Every structure is written in structure tokens, then in C-alpha cells.
Amino acid sequence: MGSFYGENIKVSIFGQSHSNAIGVVIDGLPSGIPINENFIKDFLKRRSPAFNPLGTKRKETDSFEILSGVYDGHLCGAPFCAVIKNTDTKPQDYKELFNTPRPSHADFTARMKYKGFEDKTGGGHFSGRLTAPLCIAGAVCMEILALSHIYIGAHIERIGDIWDSRFDPVSVSKEDFDKAQDGELCVINKAAGKEMKRLINSVREDGNSVGGAIECAVIGLPVGVGEPMFYGLENKISAAVFAVPAVKGIEFGSGFDSIGMLGSEHNDSFIIKDGKIKIAANNHGGILGGLSSGMPIIFRTAIKPTPSIAIQQNTVDMEKMENAEISVKGRHDPCIAIRAVPCIEAAAAIAVCDAFLRYKKIN
């Protein structure tokens, strides 16, 4: 019981890697919001392997059908549902893996939890494929937020030891988002992107994989969105972001760097500017006491290396209860962080939209 999210909207994601379809239901969306299917389509494309030469060779087109919730081009107040049929499924790629859990995948934990009844093909419900409906939900939330001039963007901050630039935490803008998205890899510094590409191709050739980091920003939120304690924006965003497979860490603002800072360095001063209260810096990452401060929300996530690698690894045969070896064949991303960029944006969009709809009903 875990694939739903939200207090003010209720997002419910379903499907397995090789089930008939995957999809999402969102209940509680405001009526009257125009839904641009092309926007959703373009957003999905950013995560789709079909459009990314650096990704897996599994070529799902991810064409979705809206089953409900939209009437005459607008959200109609009824639950939104969209599905994607699974087409390019090759379950036989996975059959030999059924008794030999892939290291650092959910095969083993799922087997123990569901007692062998879990869908074993392609990771079942734990597959990265489930981020497609997550992205649909995120795109719908982005369409709602955009009406209030709230935007979300992310870029690859790092692959292995190659660093991209960071967003300016005070002045990051929608233009910065657009620039980062322009090109094969979502990076600010296109030269760094080229190096990253070389690294990825090199680890792919080795049958290996590599980790990455993603930086995400939310701009345009008014002051006071969010709630104290357990429903603060940090809580809500992290509860959504860890739904993206391979995320192993999240930090807001100066995050882990805060450990080494003094209060006098870390504290962000208030100032009057143009007759308004502003904050001079953004170590706090746009969130104070769980509530938005009016500054950009800045967070970074650590993405582990894709656990599916062709290199031989040690595992066990759960039937025979003996040691075994495994080489994960099939079609895998050498650096899952690349395709995770829109997924992180989507998770953030869902979290922020849920909080924002409590703050201010759009209709």
C-alpha cells in the first residue's frame, strides 16, 4: 500500500513493467484548468528512452490515453485517469532472473514481502517504467502551477566526478530551465555535458553504470505555502522524490554543506528591496519552518548507479539456496540519472501542487 500520494489531491499510480498497462489516477484536481496533451507528451518524451541515445534500448513510445477527468479540453472536476499500454515487453529477458535476485534491485525484498506472488518480470511494480505515469501526473500538476506562474526545472548536477554548474539559488529563472533542457543532456554547462556523455558511453562499453546528481528548483511560489512539522515542503517533496527509483539522498538549500557552516554564515538576512521584504541569500533553500519563503526552492538528489549491469556479479539462487552469479542482460541505462531529471521535476510538481492547492484554490 504505497503507490498513492497527497492530501489535497490524491495521486494513485498503478501498473507493472509488463502488465497490460500502467497509469495514474488523480482525484481532487480543480475544474476548469486547460489541459494541453502536447505538453504532457513533450514532458514524457524527456524521460522516454526512445528519444535518448544514452538510454536503454527498450523502445516504449509511451503514448498515453486520457480515460477520464478531462471534458472539452479542461479538467472537469472528476478524477483524471491516463494509461499507457505496455507494448515492447520482452518478459523472456527476465525469466532466468526469477530465482537469482539482481543485486541492489527490489527483486529480493519483493520476493520476501509478497511471498513469491509478486510480478517478477522486469521488476514488476518496482520497475523504473512506473515513472512514466509519475511524469504524466507531474505534467498535469505543472499545467496547474503554470497558471499561477509557478515553474519547476531540473538539471544534471553531476555524473561520476564531472560537475555541471549550479542554478543561481537567488535568481534562477524559467529561462534557465529552458536552457538546461535544450540538448541531449539536461545541463547548464554544455561542455560538461559532452564530458558526461563520454563517461556514460565508456561505462556502457564496460557493461557498467555510474551514479549522478540532479538539482531541481521551484520558482514563483508565494510565501507561506506548506505546513509545519510533518507536512512541511521538505517533508512533502522528499516523500515524493524517494518514489523515483535509485534516489538515495536529498538536500535543501545548502544542505549537507550546512554542517560545516557557522550560524553567521548560514543565516539568510531579510532586507527591504523595492518596498518589499526580500531575503538576501538562499542557504535555506526557499523553505523556513516547512513553509515557502518566497525564494526559489532548491534541492539536490543523489541517484545511485543503475543496478542493472552486464558485469558478472555475485548473487544467490533462492530456490536452491546456493551462491550463484548473474549478468543482467536486457536493455538498461548506463546512467539512470539522465532520465530521472523529468521524474524528479514531476515528483516535485506533485508535492508542490498538493501543498499549493491547500494554500490557494485556483477555482
Which residues ranging from 299 to 318 are in contact with its own copies (CB under 8 A)?
302-309, 311, 313-316, 318
Work out which of 141, 200, 288, 353 binds its own copies, going by CB under 8 A.
288
Which strand (E) or helix (H) includes residue 47?
Answer: helix 37-47
Residues 53-92 that bind its own copies (CB under 8 A): 65-69, 71-72, 74-81, 83
| Binding pattern for the stretch 323-342 against its own copies, x by CB under 8 A and - elsewhere | x-------------------
Please work out, in degrees rounded to the nearest 5, the angle formed at the alpha carbon of residue 194 by the alpha carbons of 189 and 197.
125
Mark the segment that binds its own copies (CB under 8 A) among 45-53, 112-120, 165-173, 184-192. Answer: 112-120
Whether 356 and 148 have beta carbons less than 8 Å apart is answered as: yes
Work out which of 88, 280, 327, 329 binds its own copies, going by CB under 8 A.
280
| Binding pattern for the stretch 240-279 against its own copies, x by CB under 8 A and - elsewhere | x-xx-x-xxxxxxxxxxxxxxxxxxxxxxxxxx--x-x--
Toward its own copies, which CB reaches closer, 192 or 203? 203
Least distance in angstroms from the C-beta of 318 to its own copies: 7
Work out which of 40, 44, 97, 110 binds its own copies, going by CB under 8 A.
110
Toward its own copies, which CB reaches closer, 145 or 213? 213
Total number of residues binding its own copies (CB under 8 A)? 148
> Helix 37-47 vs helix 131-147: angle between axes, to the nearest 10 degrees?
130
Kindly tell me the burial class for residue 277, based on how many C-beta atoms sit within 10 Å of its own C-beta (0-12, 13-18, 19 or more).
exposed
Toward its own copies, which CB reaches closer, 51 or 208? 208
d(CA 318, CA 115): 12
Toward its own copies, which CB reaches closer, 147 or 277? 277
- Residue 214 has phi, psi (to 5 degrees) of -125, 135
Please list, in sequence order, all residues whose beta carbon lies within 8 angstroms of the beta carbon of residue 4, skipping any fewer than 6 positions away: 10, 11, 12, 13
Q: Is 12 helix (H, G, I), strand (E, B) or coil?
A: strand
Work out which of 7, 42, 178, 182 binds its own copies, going by CB under 8 A.
7
Whether 296 and 86 have beta carbons less than 8 Å apart is answered as: no
Toward its own copies, which CB reaches closer, 183 or 289? 289
Closest to 161 measured CA to CA, from 216, 203, 212: 212
Kindly state whether residue 284 participates in binding its own copies, applying the rule CB under 8 A.
yes
Residues 158-217 that bind its own copies (CB under 8 A): 158-161, 203, 208-213
d(CA 38, CA 50): 17
Whether 207 and 310 have beta carbons less than 8 Å apart is answered as: yes
Please work out, in degrees rounded to the nearest 5, the angle formed at the alpha carbon of residue 126 by the alpha carbons of 345 and 255.
40
Toward its own copies, which CB reaches closer, 38 or 264? 264
* All three cell numbers of 337: 540519472
Kindly state whether residue 298 participates in binding its own copies, applying the rule CB under 8 A.
no
Work out which of 291, 338, 340, 349 binds its own copies, going by CB under 8 A.
291
Whether 203 and 209 have beta carbons less than 8 Å apart is answered as: yes
Toward its own copies, which CB reaches closer, 51 or 108? 108
Kindly state whether residue 36 participates in binding its own copies, applying the rule CB under 8 A.
no
Kindly state whether residue 147 participates in binding its own copies, applying the rule CB under 8 A.
no
Toward its own copies, which CB reaches closer, 154 or 213? 213
* All three cell numbers of 307: 543496478
Least distance in angstroms from the C-beta of 178 to its own copies: 25
